[in-house]
Every structure is written in C-alpha cells, then in structure tokens.
Amino acid sequence: MSTRNGLWRWGGVVPALLVAAAASGQQPAPAPAPDVGKRVAAFIHGSTQVTREELGEYLIARGGMDKIDLLVNRKVVELEAAKRGITVTPLEVSAGVNEDLQSSGLSRDEFVQVIRSRYGKSLYEWEQDVVRQRLLLGKMTRAKVSVTEDEVRKAFETKHGERREAFVINWPKGKDALPEDVKKLALEKHEEFEKLALRQPNEFAKTGGKINPVGRHVDGEDPRAEQALFSLKQPGDAVWVETEGASICVRLIRVIPPDPVTFEQVKATLEKDVFDRKLSRMLPEVFNEVRAAANPQLTQHVPPRPAADPNAPVAPRAQHPDPKVLAVLYGNTPVTRTDLGEFLIARGGYEKLESLVNLRIVHAEAAKRNLTATPEEIEATLVDNLKAINIEKADFVKTILPKAKKTLEEYVEDEIRPTILLRKMCKDKVQVTDDDLKKAFDRHFGEKREAKIIMWQPGQFRQAQRDWEKAREGDAQFDQVARAQFDPNLASGAGKVSPIGRHGDAPSPAIEDTVFKLKVGELSHLFQTQAGILCIKCTGVIPPQQGVDPAKVRPALEKEVIDRKLAQEVAATFAALRAAANPNLILRGPPTERENQEGVEQILNQAGVTVPKR
C-alpha cells in the first residue's frame, strides 16, 4: 500500500529536470547579449569595483559548478517556451506556490523548512526552478491531456466513496522475505502483527503500519492490495496478499461510509484534479523531449564529477575554444561562466558578497606590502589548527567541514590564507615581555578556583534578584536555581565550569576578579557582563603546581603569548583595514521581479530568440 501527499504530486518533475538526454536540434545563431556580469556588486575604497562576475567566480570556485545541470535545464525550458510563444507571469508563479502550500497543509514557514530539508532549496529556488519550470512545461503539455467520464467517476469513488482505514505491513520479497510461519502468526495474534509492523523496512514502521484512509482506484496502488483491503468485513480482520515485489498484510481499523455528495456536485472539481494529475505525469516526458531537442553538451571546461557507480563511464565533454563556455545548446547556443555566476547569485549567492569583499580587502593590502602565503605555511597552519581542536585531517574533512558547507580548498582560501596574510601584517607589532610570560606561567601553573555560575539574560535583574535570594539559602537551593537557568551548558552541570585561573582563563575579566575574592562556599553578589547578569559560587581552591621549571616551559609559553597577541592584533588590523576600505554593498538581496525578467530576456537574447512582449 502507498499513501500520497498533495505537495509531492509534482515531485517527479524535480528529479526529471536533472535528467540528461541526447538528440539533435538547431537554433538560430546567438545574438550578442549584455554583459550583466560587469554590473557592480560593491565598492571598496570609494571607487574600486567588486563586480557580479567576480562574485560569480567566487561562488563557482566554492562548489557552484555542481549547479550547471540545473542552469542548463532552466535554459532549455525557457528557450523552448519562447519558441512556442509561452510565458509565465510572476502572479502565476505566486499562485503556483500558494497551490503547493494548500496541497501540503503546511504553513509558509513549515513549507520552507520542508523544501529546504527534502530538496535543499530555498523558497526563491522553489519558485524559479520548480514552480516556474512546471508552469512552462505544463503549458507546453496541456494540449496532450484529455479526461474521460470514466476517469472522473473513478476519482469520485476514490475521494468521496467508501474508504478504509487500516494497518499495513509491506515486506519486500527476496533474501530477507518473511517465512510463512511468521506471516501466519501475524494474522492470528494482534501483538505479533504490531511487532512486525514496527520492524518493517520502510516508512510505515514509523506509524506502526497505520495509514490514512484510502478509497478505491488510488493512483499507483496495486489492484491486488486494494482488493484485499476492501474484502475485509469487520475491524480487526486481516489478510496477506502477494504482489510481484512484496508480501502485504492489511488489518482493517474502520470503514468510512461514502460522503453525502452527488457526482454532479463535485464533477468540475474532480475533472480539474484528474487533469492536473495526468498533466503532472506527462511533464517529465515532455521535459525529456525538450531536452533531447536542445542536445546540451557540457564542455571540457566543466570538471567531470565522480559518478555514483565508480565503474560507470564518465560523460564525455565537448571540446570548445572559449574557456568561459561551459555548455552548448542546439549546437551553437552557449551557457557561460557568467550565466552560471548569475544563477548562483540569485540562489543565495548574494549572501556571500560580504565574504568576497573581506577577502578583496585583505588581498589588496597584502599585495601592497608584497606579502604571500606559501604552500608550506598553509600546510603548517592547517596542522596547528587541527592540533588545537584535536582532530585528524581526514575526520576534519569528513565531519567538520561539511557542517560548515565548505570543502578543504574553501577552508584554505577563506580562512587559512587570509589569516596568514594578516598575521604577517601584524607580526612586527607583537612583542613578548617578561610580564607576559609571568602571567602565562601563572595562568597555566598558578592557583585556580573551582566555581559554579548562574547567568540570567540581560534585563532580567528582578528575576535574578529573586533567584539569587533563593540560591543563598544553601547548596541544594543553589543547584536547583542553577539547573533552571537559560544557558543549557551551564544548566546541565548545575552551573559548574572548568577551573578558573588568573590572567585570561575566564570569558570575562569580571568573573576572574570576582571568583578570586571569594572564600570556598561563598556566593558573590549579582554583577553585569556582556553575556548577562551573573553570580558565582566558589566551590574549591586548586593550589599552584609545584616543581615546574619556568625555563623548560618558556618556549611553549612564548608561542602561546605570541598567538594570543597576534589574534588580538589581527582582529584590530582587519577592523582598521575594513574601516579604511569603507565597503558599500550594492547587491543586498534576492532578485526583484524585474531582475528575474531581465534574466529570462538574457537567456533568450543569447539564443537569438525574440523576447515575447509583456
């Protein structure tokens, strides 16, 4: 048995837009198109331009080439629609999104979360890459779709006729097929059925096999499973049925009588539903025809991606003399790096403009000072960074970087290289004094205090005062208040923190100053920090370490002091460089409707297709 959710009735179109096909086709020679990549995205130092093309290249270098297939598909559909005089308005796109929302039964925020988690798309991408393309393909396909009276009557029986609510076990056949004695036991004993329903290797296991009520003639349902379900007479009755790929057991929960409506009352709505379903099923077929006619060929300037099957042949790349051409449609219509850059910018790439601007500022200053970062320096810095977080390089690449949505190359270019350059700019400003070393020695080997902290959010002084009065009553009361505080890390340990030393271990100087004034068992007054309102309870004193030779630990302490001071100086230097550059970001958000229309016109102009009048 299967269930359907209206939101995903178009789901087949999304993967279909990724399908590659090969055939021949010709289009008129492309006409010159305006170079949108030269538009300014930002200014630094008053008049120095950061162009959209530069931002596009920045995005392409950071995984953007993976979107080339989506861009090609968009161009193919837009060009074919223009050839047929088909257009889609922003209002139609908006209506299509609203229809998806209604079908899904989700709020707008919930819908955005679902499409992001399931398809990795933003709402803008859903609008432009799914809804708009679906509408264009739908208009190309409508003439091929017809609806019969029999189809509408079956739809009436599905939606308004008798329906059945049931539990389902859908167990695949093969080497792990169910033995007959297990199936027999599931029929005879409800508790065995329930155990098996929870073990089944599919999505039904999450609900213990329970499905939403279904009627007859459900699209995609196996007739044998449907017949078995509707043969059951009483709640609790169950039956096994065999299909080609699975053994299916259905246990009836209840019978829902037909709705009190006539066929004529709902005929028009049902006709539309049937038409939409048939149209949806035909869209991938029409898209494949359109794509085959365009015969897209990726050029050798697109690096081959590893196939899911290592033994599968790598898709051939066409030779092309222009390194900016990434694909060719209809034999002569180019898809360029600028096209891909604009595609990426519109789909969230504008959020990366600030990162690009920051890199431009650092690299410009480094060039003035003739500073570079060598491969050896980069590797050494990477090794130090990995040691600092105690992780192997392979694990860092496999587990940490994906969470930050970065490759190792991106991490090197966006984090390591600019840090090395900034450190070189600051190196002459950093000196280590004897007082610095004394404080570092004291920080590591001097006396430390064990403590517990309760923190309240800024502005919660009255609540803090009430809680503080209760925390003063005793250890148990303190722990009770500490476990209820808003910071989960502090709450989990009843406020316990790592031992606090002098000269910088604490996240705030006020914490360090306060805890070293307390005796064991004493609770401080409330005091304010940037993080919030705090009180500290001293729970113990760790005496200084004995027998540590300052001379032996001096090299390590010197390196630590230099690193600390460099980090502070790097932050200050970058802030000064950025202030001097005074960046002015022109590009600040997703494209407007006018900019979207310009993007479509750009596609058509490149192919020499007359832009339809709006």
Series of mean pLDDT values for 10-residue runs along the chain (614 residues): 34 33 36 57 94 95 92 94 92 93 90 89 92 94 92 93 94 89 91 93 91 88 90 93 92 95 94 90 93 95 76 81 96 94 93 95 96 96 91 92 88 94 92 92 93 94 96 96 94 94 79 94 94 95 94 92 90 95 90 74 67 54
In this prediction, residue 610 carries a pLDDT of 63
> Residue 493 CA to chain centroid, in angstroms?
32
pLDDT of residue 36: 54
Q: Is there a shared CATH topology between the 162-257 domain and the 447-542 domain?
A: yes
Domain residue limits, the chain: 6-145+276-336, 162-257, 447-542
Domain 162-257: top CATH class: alpha beta
Q: Residue 442: which region, alpha, beta or left (left: phi > 0; alpha: psi -120 to 50)?
A: alpha
**Rama region for 163: left / alpha / beta (φ>0; ψ in -120 to 50; rest):** beta
Residue 180: Cβ within 10 Å count = 10
CA distances from 209 to 203, 224, 256 (A): 8, 18, 19
- pTM for this one? 0.72
pLDDT of residue 20: 31
Whole-number pLDDT of residue 304: 85
Task: Note whether 608 and 28 are within 8 A (CB).
Answer: yes
Nearest to 68 by CA among 306, 327, 350: 327
pLDDT at position 176, please?
85
- Beta-carbon neighbour count of residue 93 at 10 Å? 20
pLDDT of residue 38: 66
CATH second-level architecture of 447-542? Roll (3.10)
Sheet strand arrangement including 297-298: 297-298, 325-329, 333-336
Query: Counting beta carbons within 10 angstroms of the beta carbon of residue 417, is it exposed (0 to 12), middle (13 to 18) or buried (19 or more)?
Result: buried
